[in-house]
Chains A and B, each alone.
Chain A
C-alpha cells in the first residue's frame, strides 16, 4: 500500500535504484549470456544462436525478479555485477578461442 505522503526519500531512491539495476543489469546479463551461449553451446552455429536467443528473455525476467526480491539493493547490485563480470570473462575467453 503506497500513499504518497508516507514514502521517504530513501525508499524512493531504493526503488529507483532497483528499476535501473533490473532494467540495465537484467538486459546486460541477458545480452552477455546470449552472446556467450551462442559461441559455446555444443550445437551447430545457427542452432546455438537460436537456442541462446530463445532463452535470453527468460534470463532477463529471472534477473528482474531477483533484483526486486532481494532485501538490500547493495546485495542485488553485487550479485548482478558479479554475474555480469563472470559472463564477460567467459565471453572474452570464448572470443579469444575463436581468433587465436
Chain B
C-alpha cells in the first residue's frame, strides 16, 4: 500500500472494520447477552420455579421417565440426549436425532411425572445464544459468515493496535468538548484499548470454538477426516462405538445414574444414549465442568445393554488439547462467578461500544462540507448505523416484550417471538431511511429506552410472583428489571445527548456558520495533540 506501515494499517483498520461492523455489532450484543443465557431463559419461562436439587435415586427415576418418553416418541432415533433437572432448570430437557441434516426433536418434561411440562413455548436465551454464532441462518452458512467476520475483526484489531502510535497516552485521553469527531475517536480508543485483552481473547477464542469447521485440514491429513477419532484420541470424548445392527433391550438407566454419581463428585448434567435399542448402545453420563478455566466435561461411558462401565474421562488432557478446551472455556466463561461474569459482561458491552463508535466514526469522518451533498455510500452507512445500533437493542427489547405479552397458549408461540424480534428490527432499520439523520438517531435511541421501560412494566404486570408484588418472589425478576431500567437510562441519556447537540446547530450557529463560510474542518490540530499526529491520520 501507499505510505508507511502504519498508514496502510490505518487504511486496513478503517475498511475491514466498516464492512463487518454491523454484523460484528449484532454478534457482540447477542454474545454479551449470552453471558446470562440461563438467567434470560429462566426469566422467559416464569412458570418454572427454582427447585431443590434431586438426590441420586430421584435423579435416576427422572432419567427412567425420560427414557420411557423417548422409547415411545423417538424409537428410531440414532441418539437421545437427556438434560437432567437442575435447581435452576427443574425440567427434563430432551433432544433426539433421527437422521443427519434433519432438525432434532425436542421435548421438555416434568421430572416428577414424565409428562410434558406446562409452560410457555419460547426459545428463551438460547435464541440470542444461537444468533450469536449462526445469525438465525442455516447453521452451516451462519457459522461461516460469523467466522469470516471474526477473522476480519482479528485483522481489524491487529491493524488497530499498529495504528496506535500512542496507545498508552490515548488510553487516558478523552476530549469530550472538542470537535464531535474527536470525542468519538477518543471513545473508540478508550473502549477499544481499555478492554483490548478481552477483545483479542474473545475474538481468537471465538474462532477456536468452531476451529475444526473452519480449519479441518489437520484432521483431514492426520486422521483422514475422522473427527470423532480425533476427539477421542485428544481425550475430549469417550471412544465411539459403531452400531452392531442387532436389536437389544436398553439396560435401566436409573442404576447407571446412581453409579455415575457415586464415581464422579461433580453435578450430573445430562445423559447421551448413542444407538438406543442396538446391541452396541452406549450410555454416556456427562458432568458439569469442575472448577477451573477448562471447558472439559468429565464423562463416563456405560455399555447400554450390560450396564458395564466402559470408560471414565477425567482431566488427563495433554497440553495442546487442554489449551483448546481452556480457550473454549474462556470464551464461554462458564467458570466465572458473579463478579467475574459481570466483568465479562461489561467488557462485552465495551466491545459493543467499540464497534458502534467505530462505524459512527467512519460516517463522521466523511460528513459533507457545507457546499457538498452526502454521497450515496455515506447515506447508506448512516442508515445502517442507526438500524443496527438502535435497531438491534430495540429488537431484543421487543423479543422480551413479546414473551410477556403474547397469549401463553398461542400456537407456534416461540416462532412468534422470533418474528416479533425481526419485525421490530426491520421497522427500526427502515424508518431512519425516511427521517433526517439526527432526528432518526434521537428517535431510535429514545424508542429503545421506552421499549426497555415497557419490558419492565409488562414484567411487573404479568408475573404474579414478581418480588415487587409478592414477598419472597424470585429475585431474578427484580435483577432483570433493574438491568432493563439501567439500559433504558443509558439509551435515554444517549437520545438526550443527540437532541441537545442538535439544538444550537439548528438555531443560530448554523446560520452564523453559513455566513462565515464553511465550518472549520473538525480535524484541525488541537493543543492537546502533537501537530505531528495531524500529518498521519488514523481511523479515517
Give residues in A with beta carbon < 8 Å to B: 1, 3-4, 18, 30-32, 34-35, 37-39, 43-54, 56-58, 60-61, 64-65, 68-71, 91, 95
The winner among A4, A38, A50, A53 for most chain B CB atoms within 10 A is A50
When distances are taken between beta carbons in the complex, the residues of chain A under 8 Å from B11 are 68
Judged by DSSP, the binding face of A is: helix
Does B215 contact A65, Cβ atoms closer than 8 Å? no
Closest 10 CB pairs of A and B: A38-B218, A50-B320, A51-B320, A46-B233, A49-B218, A46-B234, A35-B217, A38-B222, A35-B221, A47-B320
With A4-B377, A44-B318 as known contacts, state yes or no: A54 contacts B324, CB within 8 Å.
Answer: yes
Once the chains bind, are B321 and A46 in contact (CB under 8 Å)? yes
Q: Which residues of B contact A48 (CB under 8 A)?
A: 218, 222, 320
CA distance A57 to B365 in the complex (A): 32
* Contact yes or no, A65 B158, CB < 8 A: yes
Instruction: Tell me if B462 counts as interface (CB < 8 A to partner A).
Output: no
**Contact A68/B215 with A4-B375, A46-B230 known, Cβ cut-off 8 Å:** no
B323 within 8 A of A: yes
CB distance from B41 to the nearest CB of A (A): 31
Contact A49-B219, Cβ < 8 Å, known A44-B318, A57-B207: yes
Q: Which residues of A contact B5 (CB under 8 A)?
A: 69
Q: Is the CB of A3 within 8 A of B218?
A: no
Please give me the residue from chain A that is nearest to B4 by CB atom.
A69
**CB-CB < 8 A to B151: which residues of A?**
57, 60-61
Q: Are B8 and A68 in contact (CB under 8 A)?
A: yes
Q: How far is the CA of A50 from the CA of B231 in the complex (A)?
A: 10
| Interfacial residues of chain B within 301-341, with CB under 8 A of chain A in the complex | 318-321, 323-324, 327
Complex A-B: 20 CB contacts under 8 Å = A1-B365, A1-B537, A1-B540, A30-B215, A34-B215, A38-B219, A38-B221, A46-B320, A47-B318, A47-B321, A50-B320, A51-B320, A54-B323, A57-B204, A57-B214, A61-B154, A65-B9, A65-B162, A68-B9, A70-B1
The smallest C-beta distance from B395 to any residue of chain A, in angstroms, reads 31
Alpha-carbon separation in the docked complex, A58 to B215 (Å): 12
Chain B: residues with CB nearer than 8 A to chain A?
1-2, 5, 8-9, 11-12, 151, 154-155, 158-159, 162, 204, 207-208, 211-212, 214-215, 217-223, 230, 233-235, 318-321, 323-324, 327, 365-366, 375, 377, 537, 540
For A43, what are the chain B residues with a Cβ–Cβ distance below 8 Å? 318, 320
| Residues on the B chain within 8 Å of A61, using CB | 151, 154-155, 158
Partner of B218, one of A1, A34, A58: A34
- Given A47-B318, A52-B218, A54-B327, output 13 extra A-B contacts at Cβ < 8 Å: A4-B377, A35-B218, A45-B233, A46-B321, A49-B222, A49-B223, A53-B218, A53-B219, A57-B154, A57-B211, A61-B158, A68-B8, A70-B1
The one of B8, B9, B217, B377 that contacts A34, using a Cβ cutoff of 8 Å = B217
C-alpha spacing A70/B1, complex, angstroms? 6
Q: Is there an interface contact between B215 and A69, defined as CB atoms closer than 8 Å?
A: no
Q: A32 vs B218: C-alpha distance in the bound complex, in angstroms? A: 9
Q: Residues of A contacting B217 with CB < 8 Å?
A: 31-32, 34-35, 38
| A54 and B221 form a contact (CB under 8 A) | no
Note all chain A residues with C-beta closer than 8 A to B220: 35
Given contact pairs A51-B320, A54-B208, A54-B323, A45 touches B154 in the complex (Cβ within 8 A): no
The chain B residue sitting closest to A5, CB to CB, is: B375
Question: Which chain A residues lie closer than 8 Å to B162 at the CB level?
Answer: 65
* List of A residues within 8 angstroms of B223 by Cβ: 45, 49
Across-interface contacts of A71 in B (CB, < 8 A): 1-2
A49 neighbours in B (Cβ, 8 Å): 218-219, 222-223, 230, 234
> Which residues on B sit within 8 Å (CB–CB) of A91?
221
| Nearest-neighbor residue (CB-CB) of A51 within chain B | B320
Known contacts A38-B221, A46-B233, A49-B230, A54 near B211 by CB under 8 Å: yes
User: How far apart are the CA atoms of A1 and B327 in the complex, in Å?
Assistant: 38
Known: A46-B234, A49-B223, A70-B1. A56 touches B215 (CB 8 A): yes
| Cα–Cα distance between A34 and B218 once the two chains are bound (Å) | 5
A50→B204 contact, CB < 8 A: no
Asked if A3 and B8 make an inter-chain contact with CB atoms under 8 angstroms apart, the answer reads no
Please determine whether A53 and B9 come into contact, CB atoms closer than 8 angstroms: no
Asked whether B327 lies within 8 Å of A65 as measured between CB atoms, the reply is no
Q: Which residues of A contact B212 (CB under 8 A)?
A: 53
B155, B214, B221, B230 — which one has the most chain A CB atoms within 10 A of its CB? B221
Across the interface, which residues of B come within 8 angstroms of A34, CB to CB?
A: 215, 217-218
- A4 to B374 Cα, complex, angstroms: 11
How distant is the Cα of A64 from the Cα of B155 in the complex, in angstroms? 7
Chain A residues in 8 Å Cβ range of B320: 43, 46-48, 50-51, 54
List, in ascending order, chain A residues with CB within 8 A of B155's CB.
61, 64-65
With A39-B222, A53-B215, A61-B158: A68-B1 Cβ-Cβ less than 8 Å: yes
B323: chain A residues at CB < 8 Å are 50-51, 54
Which residues from chain A contact B204 at a C-beta distance below 8 Å? 57-58
Identify the closest chain A residue to B14 (Cβ): A2
**A69 touching B324 in the complex, CB below 8 Å, given contacts A34-B217, A35-B217:** no
Whole-angstrom distance between the alpha carbons of A45 and B318 in the complex?
Answer: 11
